């Protein structure tokens, strides 16, 4: 789940209390949970939030700082026992290497749609294995990217968890389309006991309904990343 709303470079420590309470509420349900900082926090706030969350043992914290700040990520990694996940903003194994060598990442999250496809992600996974780092493919996108990510997950020993966008808020905001909208067989990604079965069909194991793709594409507008600004007009997220 999201860790916080967008914050100032230095904000009141009280704004972090709600994140801790939400984590405790989910843990009380008997569930594990990872918290995604989305790189929205700068170092003064990220280090405070990590310390506050630590006693409640989240599954991981994701992008506690942006990868543009490897030295700060290393400092934060040395200060917390919470596993750190990152990687969706890294595009090749050469970019990943820095974070493996300085031991600032525990869970790598390569995105197959912009990291060079299946071949490059498998190379990233193999490199990560040498540093005892696990792989959790980043995939908030559609069925083709998810199916390709699952194929990678099935073929590497250090796979731990797969992100998927089924029922996520950004699909609802965009319209009625969801992960299964574009599939002919909409049972391929059914979840049972927290697992998705390995696809058995040819290729990636899915069949796209091309008629639906063409129909929806006629009215689809370009997607733009959300921007965050404070009340003074200052940017709060890169």
Lookup: tokens for 187: 């049972």
Lookup: tokens for 126: 């193999």
Residue 7 contacts residue 40 (beta carbons within 8 Å): yes
Which of 191, 189, 231, 226 is closest to 206 using CA atoms? 189
Query: Looking at 38, 42, 56, 69, which residue is catalytic?
Result: 38
User: What's the start-to-end Cα distance of the chain, in Å?
Assistant: 20
Query: Looking at 42, 56, 114, 138, which residue is catalytic?
Result: 138
Question: Does residue 38 have an active-site annotation?
Answer: yes
Cβ neighbours of residue 49 closer than 8 Å, sequence gap 6 or more: 3, 4, 16, 19, 37, 41, 64
Cβ neighbours of residue 58 closer than 8 Å, sequence gap 6 or more: 23, 32, 33, 34, 35, 82
CA distances from 218 to 100, 109, 176, 208, 212 (A): 43, 32, 15, 17, 10
Question: Does residue 114 have an active-site annotation?
Answer: no
In whole angstroms, give the CA distance from residue 146 to residue 183: 12
Catalytic residue positions?
38, 138
């Amino acid at each position: 789940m999201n860790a916080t709303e967008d914050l100032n470079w230095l904000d009141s420590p009280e704004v972090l209390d709600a994140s801790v309470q939400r984590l405790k509420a989910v843990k009380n349900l008997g569930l594990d949970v990872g918290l995604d900082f989305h790189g929205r926090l700068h170092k003064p706030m990220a280090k405070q939030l990590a310390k506050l969350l630590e006693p409640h043992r989240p599954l991981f914290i994701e992008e506690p700082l942006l990868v543009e700040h490897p030295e700060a990520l290393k400092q934060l990694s040395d200060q917390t026992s919470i596993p750190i996940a990152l990687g969706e903003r890294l595009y090749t194994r050469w970019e990943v290497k820095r974070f493996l060598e300085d031991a600032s990442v525990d869970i790598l999250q390569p995105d197959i749609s912009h990291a060079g496809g299946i071949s490059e992600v498998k190379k990233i996974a193999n490199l990560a294995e040498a540093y005892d780092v696990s792989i959790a493919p980043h995939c908030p996108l559609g069925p083709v990217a998810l199916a390709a990510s699952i194929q990678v997950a099935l073929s590497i020993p250090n796979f731990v968890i797969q992100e998927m966008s089924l029922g996520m808020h950004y699909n609802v905001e965009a319209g009625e389309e969801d992960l299964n909208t574009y599939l002919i067989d909409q049972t391929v990604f059914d979840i049972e006991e927290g697992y998705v079965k390995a696809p058995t069909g040819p290729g990636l194991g899915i069949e796209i309904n091309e008629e639906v793709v063409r129909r929806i594409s006629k009215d689809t507008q370009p997607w733009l990343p959300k921007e965050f600004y404070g009340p003074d007009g200052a940017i709060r997220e890169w």
